[in-house]
Amino acid sequence: MFRRTSTTERVATAEAVLRELLERPEQVDRAAPGARVVVAATHDRELVRLLDRHCAAYHFTDTVGSDGLSFDYRLREGPAVSRNAVALLQACDAPARVVRRARARQADLDRASTQ
């Protein structure tokens, strides 16, 4: 959703759209009055965190191997815990220096997001 925008704009607009869909009366599942059925896919942990009181998160497990990215397509509860961008970068034979920088920045960003 909203690719090619800044991170903050993407998260803010995606949250606003998903909250609107969740709050629309016509989205009510007649078999479960009061429940909303909205399906969205994201790897954005911030978006998942913002919506965690309103939505249930599910994920597939992915694996990066010599043949690329593959999924097991088994639905699991909770947000995705795996990450694949740096592994994909490495699998695509990016220079080791680039992979190291990406891993280091990822670690920095992870630390900053937990403070």
pLDDT tens digits for range 81-112: 888 889 889 888 999 999 999 999 999 988 88
Residue-level pLDDT at 27: 53
112 & 88 share domain: yes
- As a whole number of Å, the CA-based R_g of the chain is 17
Whole-structure pTM value: 0.69
Domain count, the chain: 2
Average pLDDT value for residue range 23-47: 74
64 & 89 share domain: yes
21 & 10 share domain: yes
Q: For residue 73, what are the domain limits? A: 57-115
93 & 76 share domain: yes
Average pLDDT of the chain is 85
User: Which candidate, 30, 37, 41, 49, places its Cα nearest to that of 75?
Assistant: 41
Residue-level pLDDT at 43: 84
Count of CA atoms in the C-beta half-sphere (13 A) of 39: 2
Residue-level pLDDT at 35: 66
47 & 68 share domain: no
5 & 49 share domain: yes
Determine which helix (DSSP H) or strand (DSSP E) holds 111, and give its type and residue range.
helix 96-113
49 & 22 share domain: yes
Structure tokens at 25: 């009366």
Q: Band of the pLDDT at 33, cuts 50, 70, 90?
A: low
Residue-level pLDDT at 95: 95
Domain boundary among 11, 28, 56: 56
